[in-house]
Structure 1
Amino acid sequence: MTEETTSSTPKRGRTGLIVLLLALLLLGLLGWRGWAMWQAREARMRANAAESEQRIGALEQRIDALRRDQRAQTQRILDAAATNRVLRDEVLGLSQRGALLEDSVSKLADPTRHGAQALRLDEVELLLSQAQQRLAIADDLDGARRAYTLADGALQGIDDPRLLNLRQALAQERAALDTLGNGPHAAIARRLDAFAAGLKKLPDRAPAAEGQQAAWQRLLSPLVDVRRTENKTIIAPTERAAGQAALQIELTLARAALERDDTVGFRAAVVRMEAWLPQLWPDSPALRQRHDELKTLRTAVLQPSLPVLGSTLQQLRQLRNSGYSLPLPQAVATPSPSTPKVER
């Protein structure tokens, strides 16, 4: 029994060792296989991430290209819209010229209208001259508009296609005159009237805040009026009356300068009115508002510059100085009566 036991013990030891080695080999093989699979998985993930980044970069480039194309298309659309507006204006001008030409051709068929055309051309020049005189001398916009309307009616009665540019210049001049409305004189006169009405609402005393006066000043305020010596406001009633009269004179001078389009005189009168305000009324929000009104009036434009006005009269005179003359009416040919032949 002892020999069998001792012989079986080494066999079991070798078998266990082989099993242990096989188990370790299997574990190592499984570990290596798992590590290889993990490395392959990481490589695939990195490749997918790089491919995703490339795709994202390509998409961003594509989006940037689409945005640039969109901006270019928007600019082209804006340019096309501007071109269409210019073309539409040109088509409207051509249609207007075509309508005037058709009207002129239809009037040329009437030979009875040519006798008074020379007189009507003189009438047009006279009406245009009167319109310019009303604008230059009296700033009479309504009278100038009526004169332009009469000149347009007289010009429409002249059957000559060479006056087509003259009719268009007159239409532009009338449109420019309509944009003035009542004119700058009326607006400035209303502002002067509003300024004169606002002078009556100015306070004679400066608004004093509560708590600024001493107790003895508040007690003596019903009997004595205490003011600062550095204040430039005139206190004496006679001096105030003289100052207010001088201010009204300056206001009248400003209105007179406005009527005769004297910009220098108007601004000088406004500056003198600004100098009188702090001498007649103490500082207050209402007084500062009057100062702001005078500053606005000082920079006002009395006579607007419209280079279109007067262009029709200038073109008409240049046309006449170049030797323009109305065409003579063509005589209507009447068939002569044929003499009958007498047969013998």
Structure 2
Amino acid sequence: MTQDRLLSRQQGASLWVVLVLLVIIAAVAAGGWWGWQQLSGLYAEKTTLEQQVADLRQGQARQQQNLQASLADLQQKQQNLQSRIDSDQSALADLKSGGQRLWLINEARALASLASQRLLLTQDAAASRRLLKAADGVLARLDDPRALPARQALAADMEKLSGATRVDVQAMVLRLGALRQLATELAVPASPTPPERNLDDSKDKSLWQGLLERLPVQVRHYDGKVPLPLNDAQAAQVRLTLDGSLQQAQLALMQGRGKAYQQALDSTRATLKQWFRADDPRVAQMLAALDELGGQTVEQALPDIGAGLTAIEVLKRKEAGQ
């Protein structure tokens, strides 16, 4: 009987060991499944972030293409202006008839045309006014009452330019260039890790907590959103986006497009606030500079100064007997 009881106890103990092992295996399997689900979620977030970076690169490429097209258009305009000036100079040099009067009228016409082109390309109202004043001085040398309508039209154009808003565009463009150099030095930090919730050490850890701590995936509880740190390539892409916005602001400023200029500054501010630390002194410096640049009046009053040129052309046709 004693041997039977001992055998029965041994079988009961073995059965308990088997049950405990089954419970442990089930818990490990459940924990592994849950960990796999979390790991799958992280891979999905990584795939989404890579797609966003790809879209951002495509947008940057389109911005670069638009910028290059705009610069090519400006260069073409400058070449056309230079060709027109050369043509006018050649016409003046090859002028064989009309005498001194027609030569002076052509000179005044060339100066008035150059003033219009200068205002269109550089928005330099002061330089355009000087050119119109030089054209008026040339017409004054004619000492002819028939030139008075053209001189009156030139005077009206000069008065419009005197009232035009003047902004030091060149200084603002240079300052934006300095901000572009500063942007390359900014460090794009990974999103700061939110503080973990304090665990009550006085309580005994449950079996589940002990199993979770031994899993290969580290599980944390956060009060906010899970951070998505950026690698080096993604951080470089953020800097390229910031540089592209500043380039757009420079181009819009040179073209006198005030709305596009403000939009480019707003895009730069949004990028700084989204990806860079607000307590970084250089970030604060850039935001202050953007506020100062955005507060200046960019949309210059670009008046129509074609009346003087039209009047001179009318005078030329009358002088040539056309």
Higher relative contact order (CA 8 A, sep 6+): 2
TM-score (norm 1): 0.43
User: Which entry has the higher C-alpha Rg, 1 or 2?
Assistant: 1
TM-score (norm 2): 0.45
